[in-house]
Amino acid sequence: MSREVTEVDRVQPEQSGRLSSVTASSADALRRMRAQKRKDTAPELAIRRQLHRMGFRYRVDHPLPGLRRRADIVFTACEIAVFVDGCFWHCCPQHGTLPKNNHDWWEKKLRENVERDRDTDRRLRAVGWTVVRVWEHEDPLEAAKAIARIYQQKTSAPSA
């Protein structure tokens, strides 16, 4: 078992509509915001494909209970939310970077993303959900296997 799937948290990155608050004179910032895909990213698709092949069925980009947020892959019946976090937007310890242009804005922006992730995790756990965070750089098959283990643990556990 590696570090790939951790029961930590993080949430969907901010969407480009918010750009107004940027003094987004920075072409770099604009480019990044526009290039940001919110769903169906390649890592998400790869993990979903593996899970599907393993026989799992799940909801995609599904709303979460009591939250105006969504998770990338959701097992509604057993209350497991999977987030596939982009290395840039969620500050991956291995690949996270801070752009030089508009440094302060980016620093705040990315910190807020991470804080929102933690908040999402807390809120979900508070209502009995299991949160699974996967980095986009992780191997999709290994990630799917780890998700499967968590699923099996949760569904085989005697209810309290």
Distance CA 126, CA 27 (A): 40
- CA-nearest of 88, 92, 160 to 128 is 160
Min. distance of Cβ 6 from Zn ion in angstroms?
13
Please select the residue that binds Zn ion; options are 34, 49, 122, 137, rule is CB under 5 A. 137
Nearer to Zn ion, 86 or 129 (CB): 86
Place of tokens 């990338």: 72
- Candidate ranges 14-22, 63-71, 114-122, 132-140; the one touching Zn ion (CB under 5 A): 132-140
Nearer to Zn ion, 10 or 116 (CB): 10
Residues within window 79-98 making contact with Zn ion, judged by CB under 5 A: 87, 92, 94-95
Residues within window 33-72 making contact with Zn ion, judged by CB under 5 A: none
- How is residue 158 annotated by DSSP? P
Render the burial of 134-144: b for 16+ CB within 10 Å, e for the rest: bbbebbbebbb
What are the residues binding Zn ion (CB under 5 A)? Answer: 87, 92, 94-95, 135, 137
